[in-house]
Structure 1
């Protein structure tokens, strides 16, 4: 009996070591999500699929610089729309760290916290082509590239060229912006199909973005 137990234990050791050493692969897509729209969701889902990630987190920021405060919704409303948008898709989730910290968050500070909280996770930081050219200006960018793998996705009219290490994922190009949606609502135009129906209904029911 003892020999059998010993043999079984030896047989299980490599399997247990393999399971405990398996690292999670998680994408991070940050933004104001004011509101979340189909472009955000397509990017998150396509990166999840093409990079074979375990999950992609949408990470809303608490406040965005250079944004009209009247147009920048409170965190609870933006979070509510995100929850409606990803309902039914287990591949997508929400990371609320920056909302909880409040104030202005640099990507370095946020990812420093996340990598320390989850040392078993490899993070893939997703950015649009419009942000790639600004990477040299990011706070502590040289430290940040050691923490995460940048993933660039194409946007109409932008170049993905950069000296920093980055993966590139081709996604369907959708020229949709949150600004465009807010302006359309304010002008009484249709936003159908620009975002999930549940989010559109929420905007209408809450009377959001009606003020010019």
Structure 2
């Protein structure tokens, strides 16, 4: 049975923090692949700064280009409205016979008690939590934890830097930076 990691998010834009997290989990848990799963409308975030999913897919494709173990899973973009991980995982398990590992940052570990149908979800997938500065790994849920290098890059920080005309070099792949510039994304 294939072992597949799922890394969900808005990827607005995708950056090196996402890529390092995915690569570290891939390696640490000997996964076959990591699927980046952009969501339509996350239930826990505002979508005021969210660019169209076509742009996020294009940027994500550029970000993972050249890594055959990284794939894009579009399932949440196929549905309208809010995306709940439980509903997504039910569908993915119907489509595939893989063993799924859902990758979350420590910020989401603290938020798990509020996830939709969390008690059923933890029976479907194995969660893998990765450290994030200023967040705790402690939880009563059965989560595998792994340490990755502390990376404080965030998509919101990158969007803010772009609006302010500051450099984003070394925060995200050059191909993604070029795409953002050519398409005038996140400008004020």
TM-score (norm. length: structure 1): 0.86
State the partner residue of 1:145.
122
State the partner residue of 1:174.
151
SS in 1 for 2:129: strand
State the partner residue of 2:83.
105
SS in 1 for 2:41: coil
1:28-107 mapped onto 2 (5 Å cutoff):
28-65=6-43, 66-69=45-48, 71-107=49-85
Change (3 A) 1:152 1:198: same
The whole-number CA distance in structure 2 between the counterparts of 1:159 and 1:133 is 7
Unaligned runs of 5+ in 2: none
The whole-number CA distance in structure 1 between the counterparts of 2:94 and 2:42 is 25
Deviation at 1:68, TM superposition (A): 4.5
1:113-124 mapped onto 2 (5 Å cutoff):
113-118=91-96, 120-124=97-101
Deviation at 1:50, TM superposition (A): 0.8
Deviation at 1:67, TM superposition (A): 1.8
Summarize deviations over 1:111-151 as a string: whole Å, max 9, x none.
Answer: 01101111x21100000000101111111111000000000
SS in 2 for 1:203: helix
Is residue 2:140 matched to residue 1:163? yes
The whole-number CA distance in structure 2 between the counterparts of 1:150 and 1:163 is 12
The whole-number CA distance in structure 1 between the counterparts of 2:76 and 2:20 is 23
- The answer (yes or no) to whether the contact 2:64–2:71 under 8 Å persists in 1 is yes
Deviation at 1:102, TM superposition (A): 2.4
TM-score (norm. length: structure 2): 0.97
* Greater share of residues in helix: 1
Unaligned runs of 5+ in 1: 1-22
- State the 4+ residue runs in structure 1 displaced beyond 6 angstroms: none
- The answer (yes or no) to whether the contact 2:12–2:51 under 8 Å persists in 1 is yes
RMSD of the alignment, in Å? 0.9
State the partner residue of 1:15.
none
The whole-number CA distance in structure 1 between the counterparts of 2:27 and 2:184 is 35
Structure having the higher Rg:
1
